[in-house]
Structure 1
């Protein structure tokens, strides 16, 4: 379990830092305002819950050697969706769909004891993440996209790691009841998503 946590930390960190570094280089000459706005943007409750859930689901449902695939898929789809959003692409009922993505991740956590095809799980993550990305991209500040994206990718990766750490902690310290705890967390997450949906 310790090996798994170190491996997850290393792989997600390296991947996210590579994305951030590339975007930051493209942003040379601008101030730090865009980066700061990107850092704080994912702390909206719907975004935060979804990103933590992806880390938890990845630990709970993916093989040990592929735990990092969930966060990496989310990050890649997020930045692609955000780039499209920054170019003006949008869709109807986007905020409602984002709230429902929280419900989706809750259901995925509840079902994580069952074997889900890897492609299906990652495909659902990519689909949900692209909607979060569209919302991020639509709010790109005047300072430009690259620094803003670097900020929200860094925060997103951190939230994924937090979710993964929580999942690993449950597996390690609550081993005898881990499945029930994960199910309860997924149920609460789904309920929170439905509440957010009802407020829109």
Structure 2
């Protein structure tokens, strides 16, 4: 099991280096705007995918009971708020660097198993969620596409929670490795932005 997990982590990190797959919101192509397109959208870029998994992972590693849901629910709500702002044509500078930084930071805090209260955790991930929403909202139209995107985000959070609960029962090295792999992906995304 340990070798298989290490191979998956390495494969995910290597896959992140592929420029076409790194960001779901490169802004260079028109997107379809239905429920299915919105649902699939977060799966087309590792930045959003990794951040959502990290939110769930961190929550499962550091919270218990209903408090585990505080950060994922805050992220989903503020993602939607940011997306609605983006669909209205509002843009902020530094959206892509903020999205990449979210992957790095969320990976690091998951690896460190940084304990924050449920409200503080929700506030931290909520700030990042607005930038994710702005990035995706600029590409999707309001309505079914945004509902699909939020549903996919909730699914990714659930997968992160399940992973975190599984890793919580194992030696801490495995949760640190998972968080570290996400952080390395974030570092790669930031590096790519600086070099571009």
TM tier, smaller: 0.7 to 0.9
Counterparts of 1:16-165 in structure 2 under 5 Å?
A: 33-43=33-43, 44-112=45-113, 114-141=114-141, 145-165=142-162
Residue in structure 2 matched with residue 17 of structure 1 by the alignment:
none
Residue in structure 1 matched with residue 166 of structure 2 by the alignment:
169
Cα distance in 2, alignment partners of residues 74 and 156 from structure 1: 9
Aligned with residue 188 of structure 1, among 177, 181, 184? 181
- CA deviations over 1:7-34 (Å, ceiling 9, x no partner): xxxxxxxxxxxxxxxxxxxxxxxxx952
Rg larger for = 1
Tell me the CA shift for residue 118 of structure 1.
3.1
Cα distance in 1, alignment partners of residues 115 and 58 from structure 2: 12
Cα distance in 2, alignment partners of residues 63 and 169 from structure 1: 14
- CA deviations over 1:104-161 (Å, ceiling 9, x no partner): 101211232x4323332211100001100011110024xxx11011110111111111
- Any unmatched runs of 5+ in structure 1? 1-31
Q: TM-score, normalised by structure 2?
A: 0.77
Residue 70 of structure 2 contacts residue 118 of structure 2 at CA under 8 Å; is this kept in 1? no
- Any unmatched runs of 5+ in structure 2? 1-31
Cα distance in 2, alignment partners of residues 74 and 152 from structure 1: 12
Residue 33 of structure 2 contacts residue 140 of structure 2 at CA under 8 Å; is this kept in 1? no
Cα distance in 1, alignment partners of residues 49 and 147 from structure 2: 17
Q: TM-score, normalised by structure 1?
A: 0.76
- CA deviations over 1:21-55 (Å, ceiling 9, x no partner): xxxxxxxxxxx952122011111110000001111
What is the root-mean-square deviation of aligned Cα atoms in Å? 1.5
